[in-house]
Structure 1
Amino acid sequence: MNPISRRTLLASLAALAATAGLSSFWVSRMTSYKGPITDHFDGERFFDRDGAAPKGWLDVLRWRFTTKPAKWPDWAPSPFADTPPPRVEGARARLSFVGHASWLIQTGGLNILVDPVWSERVSPVSFAGPKRHNDPGIAFDKLPKIDIVLVSHGHYDHLDLATLSRLAAQHAPRVITPLGNDLTMASHDSAIRAEAYDWRDRVELGPGVAVTLVPTRHWTARGPFDRNRALWASFVLETPAGRIYVVCDSGYGDGRHFRNVREAHAPLRLAILPIGAYAPRWFMKDQHMNPADAVMALADCGARQALANHHGTFQLTDEAIDAPELELYAALDAAAVPRERFPVLKPGQVFEI
């Protein structure tokens, strides 16, 4: 293989790191969880009886070398930038969209970050992989004191070790994450105060605020040999303003995970649902919802209000940068759901309950 084609291949493989949650070609960086066998852990790997196994490497290569991704603009700045207040008290919640799947949720006197990513790339290497197309909606030095961080799973666009280390150094928050991801964090930086929990575990965060980890249709890895050796989850956050269902990454399947959350945790005041990284469907449908799926997920979970995420910051898949928003509004119109019930925020925009 000549140097140019070899470099192209290596760059493509590195780009898989976060594209559909794939991982580094060279080395696994996720330490394996060890624990008792359960209905979703076989002693070595986690699984979802109601989910689907991730695609194999032949499918990965087929996609990467036959795809024709839409061209995104090199830079797509948001017109918004948020400077959050120090705290939000009372029966209120303030949600600031940082970008992709990162949120600051302020409620009950606590400041909670979800899947925080302030890095330039979501990749195991610095020279390749998905790169930001806009700045975080909150500058890192404008963050209030962070008390809690929720990390949904180990893919590079959700578990960003560099950001977690910065947070540990400046804020020392508790980090709540599914089983096994704490090992990845601890092996990188012992200052990260990670606590690992299983599906359906409920964790008290403060007076009137708690979080329950719930099953979601996804998977995880950080290297080629560690698929599903840690767990993945969504979150149901109990707050003085009502329950907030936070889905950072999920396929739709038959919708049963969303209906199960409704049965166990209704009423939901708000659902944060992913709408991007869905094309091509033959490859992505089992792990990432498209906008039409997200509208069905809203109906299934029964939330009064929804907000969109997982779009517009990192080009992980083939659709255009504005396609998730346009297709979401088309799907809402087709389902006779008011658009204001499921808006698409730009980084730096704020939604308040």
Structure 2
Amino acid sequence: MVGTAARSCRATRTGLLLALSATLMLAACGHKNPYYDPAKPHHTPEGFRNNYLDRKPDGLLKWQWQRITQGLPKPPANNYAFPIVRPDVVALHANKTDTTATWIGHATVLLQVQGTNVLTDPIWSKRASPLSFMGPKRHVPPPMDMNELPHIDVVLISHNHYDHLDRATVEQLNKQDGGPPLFLVPLGIKPWLNDLGITNVKELDWWESASQGSLNFHLVPVQHWSARSLTDRQETLWGGWTMHTNKDTATPFSVFFAGDTGFSKDFEDIATRFGSFDLALIPIGAYAPRWFMQTQHVDPADAVKIHQTIKSAYSIGVHWGTFEMADESLDEPPLALAEARKKAGVADQAFVALKHGETVRFDKNGAVIP
């Protein structure tokens, strides 16, 4: 029975792969970029491109065929028994002055800085997919319900992939008590949000900025891509985010959120522009196989290089342990991160992988409180 079920599953996946191939071959190239500025090299008449990668990420069909034939991804050694820390919901609601970072899971982090609550790439759904019955499923539940969140002031979206821009989550955030948050998004995502009735949106191009309260945000270039269907690849922009307190504040603090990215010279450009960061949220998962993922997803060794390049005082590894997005097991990234730190001479406490729901607090000088 097990063998029959496995063969049936492989046959289904093979059929889906063939359908995907046919759709990609039939996809038209008639999209016109309404934001096109020929003076900006990352703009194209059809959409956008990376600064330091001439080609679009490719090899999807080959990778999916390997997954079918090799039975990937491999399950984690811990059998999905990840430890979960219950956040102190009362303290998060009451906090108006302390700087904190709480890892919800995947690329979702709740940041509290000078009384402003910021949420990165929020997803509470059970699947990172347009379908409720298919696509990457959540293996670790959110450590807190959405209705337990403090009032969210700003939502940062890095790009439009389903594991970073979740429709059900942003719709619920838009209906929160006390009014909707400000959604900061890359070019091209605002119309999609507007169609959902989400109107408190500001979209930015690379290096453009926006402010909320005492915080200043910049959309910065990273090496990735966008797509929400089989035919709209790179039609909307992607990027990372920086967040800085006002220069005249008595307790300055800075954050870099990478979103999704491969390693590129973009991080040298970011360091040149901003100098250093108190906190960085850097992906460490969804990196295998390297022949396919290298241009779009860093592995832990590359993540450590980002940490060093942007001169981050303290980094948190995100984008792991929640959804199976690649071929490595869900519990592998923290182990690989420990090896990468050691090889690079980075202190263990300078770049960490938190437990789901764990909160880190920072003192008035931007240092982590033990």
TM-score of the pair, normalised by structure 2: 0.84
Please name the residue that 1:295 is paired with.
304
**Aligned partners of 1:107 and 1:241 also within 8 Å:** no
**Aligned partners of 1:213 and 1:235 also within 8 Å:** yes
Please name the residue that 1:203 is paired with.
210
| Local SS of the residue matching 1:263 | helix
Please name the residue that 2:260 is paired with.
249
Q: Which runs of 5+ in 2 are unaligned?
A: 1-6, 246-250, 363-370
Deviations 1:192-238 (A, max 9, x none): 5222110001111112x110000001111011110000000100101
Deviations 1:161-219 (A, max 9, x none): 110001111251110000001122222x1135222110001111112x11000000111
Match for residue 293 of structure 2 among 284, 291, 297: 284
Calculate percent identity across the aligned residue pairs: 33
What displacement does 1:131 show? 0.6
| Local SS of the residue matching 2:119 | strand
Q: Is 2:268 the counterpart of 1:263?
A: no
| Local SS of the residue matching 1:286 | coil
Measure the CA separation in 1 of the matches of 2:162 and 2:18: 14
Please name the residue that 1:36 is paired with.
36
Cα pair distance change 1:100/1:177, threshold 3 Å: same
Deviations 1:110-151 (A, max 9, x none): 111100000000011111111111111322121011111001
**Aligned partners of 1:32 and 1:230 also within 8 Å:** no
Please name the residue that 1:348 is paired with.
357
Please name the residue that 2:4 is paired with.
none
Measure the CA separation in 1 of the matches of 2:229 and 2:94: 38
Measure the CA separation in 2 of the matches of 1:232 and 1:200: 12
Q: Which runs of 5+ in 1 are unaligned?
A: 17-22
What displacement does 1:260 show? 1.2
**Aligned partners of 1:118 and 1:140 also within 8 Å:** yes
Amino acid at match of 1:260: D
**Aligned partners of 1:88 and 1:107 also within 8 Å:** no
**Aligned partners of 1:176 and 1:194 also within 8 Å:** yes
What displacement does 1:56 show? 4.4
Measure the CA separation in 2 of the matches of 1:164 and 1:210: 22
Measure the CA separation in 2 of the matches of 1:5 and 1:275: 29
**Aligned partners of 1:78 and 1:347 also within 8 Å:** yes
What displacement does 1:75 show? 4.2
**Aligned partners of 2:144 and 2:357 also within 8 Å:** yes
Match for residue 92 of structure 2 among 61, 67, 85: 85
Measure the CA separation in 2 of the matches of 1:273 and 1:346: 15
Match for residue 96 of structure 1 among 96, 102, 107: 102
Number of residue-to-residue matches in the alignment:
338
Match for residue 54 of structure 1 among 52, 57, 60: 57
Measure the CA separation in 2 of the matches of 1:165 and 1:32: 28
**Aligned partners of 1:78 and 1:134 also within 8 Å:** no
What displacement does 1:60 show? 4.2
**Alignment map for 1:1-353 (pairs within 5 Å):** 7-9=12-14, 34-37=34-37, 38-51=40-53, 52-67=55-70, 68-72=72-76, 75-82=80-87, 83=89, 84-86=91-93, 88-90=95-97, 92-170=98-176, 171-187=179-195, 189-207=196-214, 209-239=215-245, 240-253=251-264, 256-353=265-362
Amino acid at match of 1:313: T
**Alpha carbon RMSD of aligned pairs, Å?**
2.7
Measure the CA separation in 2 of the matches of 1:350 and 1:10: 44
| Local SS of the residue matching 1:104 | strand
| Local SS of the residue matching 1:268 | coil
Bigger radius of gyration, 1 or 2?
Answer: 2
What displacement does 1:43 show? 2.0
Measure the CA separation in 2 of the matches of 1:160 and 1:250: 18
Amino acid at match of 1:266: G
**Aligned partners of 1:80 and 1:348 also within 8 Å:** yes
Measure the CA separation in 1 of the matches of 2:244 and 2:237: 22
What displacement does 1:336 show? 1.7
